[in-house]
Structure 1
Amino acid sequence: MSDTTWLQRAVSALTAFRESDRPVVSLARDLLWVVAVVGGIALVLYLFAGTWPAVVTIESESMVPNMNVGDLVLVVDEDRFGELTTWAEGQRTGQSSFGNYGDVIVYRPNGADSVHPIIHRAMTYVDTAAVVESGLGAYYDDPHGGYITQGDNNPYTDQPNLRLAGVGIVEPVEKEWIIGKALFAVPLVGYLPLHLAEFAVVVILVILIHDFVLARRKEKNE
């Protein structure tokens, strides 16, 4: 009996919340709907891509012209829809993506979570203790095996030429550092995540204006 009473109260509260005309309740209801829709989309993307984040935004010109600032890129698990292919392998087999041989990967430099992930093309894979010649003529004594990466618009590879604050010289990318590989990009849509705070304010304002207009119409009808 107590369970039934508790259930009845929960249903009654939910009904009151759903049918309430109070502005605060109406706003909360609309915001919960937005959160539910966004959460549902994120879940579908995760199940499809097998990785998180499932989408990233291009924030620099290092991959121009094949990826541009503001592009929203869908990222999938590195072995989904085919094994990860480097530029060197793609040159031999003909496999390409985003206007060049091989796959574009998203990785955490040196495995660090303190900096933004990098999205560059996987150029080749080197074994332990390999020596890599950069585009600038420098040599990098690799402390471990991993992928050598490079932006399509950069004249040199990330390893050993890229140095990041708090990370140091970017090392060859171990497989554990790879978030995923880029599948396709949608132009301009990525500007939305870059201005997420502004977008949230606009959405809230639109909801408030919508609720205000509906309330005024209801008052006139009554």
Structure 2
Amino acid sequence: MSVSGAEKKGPSLLEKFRTSENKWVSWARELAVVAIVVGAIALGLFLISGTWPAVVTIESESMVPHMNVGDLVFVVSADRYGDLQTWKEGQETGYMKFEDYGDVIIYKPNGATSVHPIIHRAMVWAEEGQTFQVTTGNLNYSYTAPHAGYITKGDNNAVIDQTGWESGYRGLGPLEPVRDEWLVGKALFAIPLLGYLPLHIVPVAIILIAAMFLYEYYIDRKKSAGNKPGKKQKKKK
């Protein structure tokens, strides 16, 4: 009786990978599953938020008490779920976010990608050459915008970002008004403490991967012990 070509064909490479009991293949399979799950979550977040990164972690106290260190903030593009409003516009419309007027924005300082984005409140939109009077404590001085953009400030800071680092911000020079193209997005909501996980993502990832390998090693040893032939007992006369 002849056997067809389809019947002669063995399991596919994917099927072998999926069903293999080899410990190295098993570990690779576990890592692949983790990568697929993480990728699916990242894609879902991007589709919902319309920007990337879709989540950021509060790393300083500049937004206290409305945002605290360790808060995980969900970010959406500036035009999603309503137009972006500044603190000045919020005063006029009554729009509030995180217990104050206007939106909290996430932006790349001076457009740089070499440092973490800043998450501060958009205070007002400045036109090129527009001058503002800045009052802080007993000081009263003026600031002239070198180009159009958002003037920003941390809720817990005494001065606007554009004058708070006159000596330079992390090697980038003084912070400038935030251009539209420097915007990552605006803050939608925050979950307290959950941001500590991304803040320590490297050690957490190492622990999780180590735990996976130890679990697979334990299962492999258990299977090996179960497959060992037991000693034959002598029959009693």
Scaled by the length of structure 1, what TM-score is found? 0.91
Aligned with 2:162 (options 148, 159, 163): 159
1:93 match: 93
1:140 match: 143
CA contact (8 A) 1:134 1:159 kept: no
1:42 match: 42
Secondary structure of 1:134 counterpart: strand
User: Once the 2 structures are TM-superposed, how far is the Cα of residue 118 of structure 1 from its aligned partner?
Assistant: 0.5
User: Once the 2 structures are TM-superposed, how far is the Cα of residue 220 of structure 1 from its aligned partner?
Assistant: 4.2
Matches within 5 A, 1:3-22: 12-22=12-22
Structure 1 residue runs of 5 or longer lacking an equivalent are none
In structure 2, what residue type is equivalent to 1:140? Y
Q: CA RMSD in A?
A: 1.7
1:126 match: 126
In structure 2, what residue type is equivalent to 1:48? I
In structure 2, what residue type is equivalent to 1:155? A
- The reply to whether residue 215 of structure 1 matches residue 216 of structure 2 is no
Aligned with 1:182 (options 187, 191, 216): 187
Q: For this pair of structures, how many residues does the alignment match? A: 216
Bigger mean CA deviation after superposition, 19-28 or 50-59:
19-28
How many Å separate the matches in 2 of 1:133 and 1:21? 71
Secondary structure of 1:138 counterpart: strand
In structure 2, what residue type is equivalent to 1:128? E
Structure 2 residue runs of 5 or longer lacking an equivalent are 228-237
1:84 match: 84
How many Å separate the matches in 1 of 2:173 and 2:218? 55
- The reply to whether residue 193 of structure 1 matches residue 207 of structure 2 is no
Residues 104-161 of structure 1, C-alpha deviations (whole Å, 9 max, x = no match): 0000111111222100000111112101223442322211111110001101111122
In structure 1, what residue type is equivalent to 2:164? N
2:233 match: none
As a proportion of its length, which structure holds more helix? 1
In structure 1, what residue type is equivalent to 2:159? Y
How many Å separate the matches in 2 of 1:25 and 1:142? 59
- Higher radius of gyration, 1 or 2: 2
Q: Percent identity?
A: 53
